[in-house]
Amino acid sequence: MPNWGRRIDLAKNPRDVVGLMHCIIPEGEKGSAKVTHFRVTREVNLENLRLIRDGQCGVKSGTYARLVVDGELMMTDTTNEFVTNRSIIFGSEGDVLIAGLGLGMVLMVLAKRKEVTSVTVVEKHQDVIDLIEPHLRAEMTTKESKRLTILQGDIFEWRPPKEARYDFIYFDIWPDIGPENLPAMTKLHRSFWRWKRSRHSTMTSWEHQRTIAMRQEERVEEELYARFRGY
């Protein structure tokens, strides 16, 4: 684990994973997947103001990693990514299933959580797995690495073995938050409920509640528009 003059303990301070991934994943490219590092300086303060205005988190100055797949920005390891994944970072326990490997930011924290027994990740792009997995494992202890399984598959087609059961199921495959993600979330939740260990087990998607709220807002706007179109 990189040392910035103090020991990083992700189990105690999960927030330290923000801006950490460039120390773990070097810049590189594999087929359709590319990792680059970028610096945020004071000059982007105006951009930060825009993010804050839009209800997102600003970015502190520092160095970060980004993952691009097929030319599309999938994620960065900035505060916003951490905040939008807090349900799994703080709520996961037992046997966990995640769709979407990305930079492995969430995984780095889950690997250290004593409440987590195993993590199975399903990632669509083999190039992402080849680019990211070896570096994540290099940062894990043998015990942590043994609890982690990364499989290649499209989550819309892949299904767990019949007998598998999960305490936490999490779908994190979208590059952006938006109401257009809701039908896919609903479809996935319907397809995977039978693999929940019990009715108390959690199944959710990246920013699910916010996505529902955005869709509701959109519906209200559509309704108002339809009602007043004639005036």
Dihedral angle at the C-alpha atoms of 96, 98, 102, 106, nearest 10 degrees? -30
- The yes or no reply on residue 22 touching ligand SAM (CB under 6 A) is no
Minimum CB separation from ligand SAM for residue 226, in Å? 33
Alpha helical stretches, state H, the chain: 21-24, 45-53, 79-84, 86-91, 105-110, 126-138, 142-146, 182-192, 208-228
List the one residue from 24, 59, 75, 96 that touches ligand SAM (CB under 6 A).
75
- The yes or no reply on residue 101 touching ligand SAM (CB under 6 A) is yes
- The yes or no reply on residue 104 touching ligand SAM (CB under 6 A) is yes
Pull the structure tokens for residue 161: 């073995």
**For residue 180, what is the DSSP state?**
G
- The yes or no reply on residue 180 touching ligand SAM (CB under 6 A) is no
| CA of residue 193 relative to chain centroid, distance | 20
- The yes or no reply on residue 128 touching ligand SAM (CB under 6 A) is yes
The residues in 148-167 that bind ligand SAM, with binding defined as CB under 6 A, are 154-156
Q: HSE (CB half, 13 Å, CA atoms) of 73?
A: 10
- Of 36-44, 54-62, 93-101, 137-145, the window that binds ligand SAM (rule: CB under 6 A) is 93-101
Site residues for ligand SAM per CB under 6 A = 69, 74-75, 98-107, 122-125, 128, 154-156, 172-173
